[in-house]
Amino acid sequence: QKEVEQDPGPLSVPEGAIVSLNCTYSNSAFQYFMWYRQYSRKGPELLMYTYSSGNKEDGRFTAQVDKSSKYISLFIRDSQPSDSATYLCAMTSQSGGYQKVTFGTGTKLQVIP
């Protein structure tokens, strides 16, 4: 079983829809949770960063963490064609004196005008 599971998609939604992206994990030692957006042939861009259970909102984006269920989500409201990209979840845990980062496989999102 992978430490982090993420549905690869692709996920197609109409413009204006609410998008829900999810990751589950098995390692209870994960401390920090991040969501990245990656356009084709570009480096990932940090969207959201959280470290506690609950919701964190930034504009159209809301990150949700449920440590008891080992589940994180990213919600995108009023989705736009420019949101079409691959979204990666990432989590960190302490390993041998430094923070180890584990990525999900990414979910490809397409927002149709």
Residue type, 88: L
Q: Rule CB under 8 A: is residue 2 a binding residue for other proteins?
A: no
Cα-Cα end-to-end distance for the chain: 37
SS3 call for 42: coil
Q: Using CB under 8 A, which of 44, 64, 76, 79 touches other proteins?
A: 44
Distance CA 55, CA 75 (A): 10
Q: How many residues sit in the footprint of other proteins (CB under 8 A)? A: 21
DSSP 80: -
Task: Closer to other proteins by CB, 17 or 105: give it.
Answer: 105
Q: Rule CB under 8 A: is residue 41 a binding residue for other proteins?
A: yes
Considering only the stretches 13-21, 35-43, 52-60, 72-80, report the one whose residues sit in contact with other proteins under the rule CB under 8 A: 35-43
Q: Going by DSSP bridges, is the β-strand pair 54-58/4-6 parallel, antiparallel, or unpaired?
A: unpaired
Task: Closer to other proteins by CB, 73 or 105: give it.
Answer: 105
Distance CA 31, CA 51 (A): 6
Q: Using CB under 8 A, which of 35, 36, 84, 109 touches other proteins?
A: 36
Contact 42, 109 (CB under 8 A): no
Q: For binding to other proteins (CB under 8 A), which residues are involved?
A: 32, 34, 36, 41-46, 49, 51, 88, 90, 92, 98-99, 101, 103-106
